Amino acid sequence: MNALDTALQKSFPSVMVPRSEAVEPMTAYGERLLIAANGIWLEVLRPWIRVVRRVARYDAPTAIPYGDVAESTELLCGAIPAEHVSAFYQIARAALPNEAGAWIVWNRHTRQFRTVPLPSLSHGPGHLRYERPVLDEGESVVVDCHSHGSGAAFFSRTDNDDDRHDVKLALVLGHCERAPSVAFRLCVKGIFDEKQGGIPETWRVALDSEVTA
Ligand SMILES: [Zn+2]
């Protein structure tokens, strides 16, 4: 086969899921398709997360002699400490009436998190453009945070466009002058998963204590 397709297929292979044993784990960071009896699944491995989501079902009841796959999400970085979400809320409140952004990043060597404020290029209510900070070797963006100033938290069409190619958690804080409204989702290469029902309880407690402080 030609060099271009060989390289493309090597970077994004398809795997036939066996029926009588587990599928071989991924050995390198990247993504692959799992062809299973119960559909076609995307598996993504990053230093901080392993995630499997179904991307297609079959149109015909053809018997597929492969095994089944189940949806899964493993946070390899562990729980994200609430103090970083509090730190972003303080950044967002300080930026009012403008929007603000920050990344919560995780270093796979030190296993530490840190909050990286995003320096904005153009800054005004309803508008945020920023220069992407350079991360240290071994760091990954885990939570991409931005605020909607004093407006409500939700994922706008612009947010959907921005998040379409990434693998990350996305957090929006709104109503930043008071107890903030929150929108939160997992983004995996065009899949947006909001169904876990809001932010972790520790984050909510931390945000509430910031408001009353
Ligand atoms: Zn937004």
Q: Are 124 and 98 in contact (CB under 8 A)?
A: yes
pLDDT band with cut points at 50, 70 and 90 for residue 121: low
CATH topology of domain 82-212: Cytidine Deaminase; domain 2 (3.40.140)
Q: What was the pLDDT predicted at 55?
A: 97
Burial letters for 5-39: b for 16+ Cβ neighbours within 10 Å, e otherwise? eeeeeeeeeebebeeeeebeeeeeeebbebbbeee
For the chain, residues classed under CATH 3.40.140.10 are 82-212
Distance CA 11, CA 4 (A): 11
Q: Which residues, by Cβ under 5 Å, contact ligand 1, an ion?
A: 156, 159
Q: Tell whether the model's pLDDT for residue 122 goes beyond 80.
A: no
Q: Tell whether the model's pLDDT for residue 86 goes beyond 80.
A: yes
Read off the pLDDT of residues 22-78 as tens digits, 9 standing for 90 and up. 999 998 999 999 999 999 999 999 999 999 999 999 999 999 999 999 999 999 999
Q: Tell whether the model's pLDDT for residue 195 goes beyond 70.
A: no
**Token pair in block for residue 134:** 């350079």
Residue, of 197 and 104, whose pLDDT is higher: 104
Read off the pLDDT of residues 131-151 as tens digits, 9 standing for 90 and up. 788 999 999 999 999 999 999
Q: Are 43 and 51 in contact (CB under 8 A)?
A: yes
Percent of the chain scored above 70 by pLDDT? Answer: 94
- C-alpha distances in angstroms, 172 versus 27, 37, 83, 85, 89? 33, 37, 16, 11, 10
Question: What distance in angstroms lies between residue 26's CA and the mean position of ligand 1's atoms?
Answer: 33
Question: What distance in angstroms lies between residue 156's CA and the mean position of ligand 1's atoms?
Answer: 5
Q: What was the pLDDT predicted at 47?
A: 97
